Amino acid sequence: MFKVGIVGGTGYTGVELLRILSQHPEVTIQSITSRKEAGMAVSVLFPSLRGRTSLAFSDPIDAGLEKCDLVFFATPNGIAMQQARALLDAGVRVIDLAADFRIKDVAVWEKWYGMQHACPELVAEAVYGLPEMNRDRIKNARLIANPGCYPTAVQLGFLPLIEAGIVDLDHLIADAKSGVSGAGRNAELHTLFAEASDNFKAYGVPGHRHLPEISQGLSHMAGKSVGLTFVPHLTPMIRGIHATLYAPLTKDTDLQTLYEKRYADEPFVDVLPVGSHPDTRSVRGSNLCRMAVHRPQGGSTAVILSVTDNLVKGAAGQAVQNMNLMFGLPENLAINHAPLFP
């Protein structure tokens, strides 16, 4: 058994992490922090966890995080970078579910996130936690930058095409949709029921914070810069990411075989049969990314449909997948549950 701590456990990602870790046979949750809710039993704030944990929220100062083997940061951007150095110096491994360590160019990060980075010296060390790309590096990492929800679905969808070198890298398009839980648990006008229900809209078209993260990942795959148009949308559902990806083909290739071979040994990527259309409900509550490959009318454009649960494979589940790799555990331990239906 090893000990973990969670910093920032009152949001949707934090409670999803608690739900998964409370069922993990090799983990003891040492502490979960919240300044506002310090002293409150976790099961009072989240009745769904009644009988699963006896922990109460603690103030970060009193949490004893330095005694943990690993600490998860399920916090807003800008928090993990303030505390990661002290934990690493104490021998604690860190997984940040926010964006503090995802973008390697610190100046680019500061531009998109509007703040000065507190520990730029750690950015180069941080390993980007997409196991399908970086599995071997994740195993030996001290610091993991857990990918964002949109970037996970988009990068996994484009990966086989780019690795094979069969697409025009200057004209990639990602048309992606997210459920409202992706906006977090704070009360905001655009996520109120009367605003989000029975509605559908694009946002962040001039530029979204996940754009540089996705572009960085795709460029790393390609070995050179790529041209990406990324348009996110808000949908009237709670969970889910649906990414429709467009890539002009430069070579005639059996796309179905390409994808099936690339992901044959990946426990959390499911390539559906020819002609399929994955829906977000088919992955709800699971750590799966399901995708389908199309070439409409046999033309020159590949269309990839990629769906995930933004709170699981797009956040907490992927973080536990990374943790399992870091500690030499079976990669699917505690995250191999079937999706919820309906």
Looking at the annotation, which residues are catalytic? 149
Number of H helices, E strands in the chain: 10, 13
CB 310 within 8 Å of CB 181? yes
Q: Any residues with CB less than 8 A from the CB of 214 and at least 6 apart, and which?
A: 150, 151, 154, 155, 174, 228, 230
As to burial, measured by CB atoms within 10 angstroms (0-12 exposed, 13-18 middle, 19+ buried), residue 332 is middle
Query: What whole-number distance in Å separates Cα of residue 302 and Cα of residue 10?
Result: 40
**Are the C-beta atoms of residues 98 and 151 closer than 8 Å to each other?**
no
Cross-strand bridge partners of residue 229: 173
Measured CA to CA, the distance from residue 206 to residue 233 in angstroms comes to: 13
What's the distance, Cα to Cα, between the start and end of the chain in Å? 35
129, 70 Cβ separation under 8 angstroms: no
- Collapsing DSSP states into helix, strand and coil, what is residue 46? coil
CA distance 95 to 35: 20
Task: Find the radius of gyration of the CA atoms of the chain.
Answer: 20
In the 8-state DSSP scheme, what is residue 132? H
Question: Nearest 5°: CA angle at 268, between 259 and 147?
Answer: 95
Do the Cβ atoms of 118 and 82 come closer than 8 Å? yes
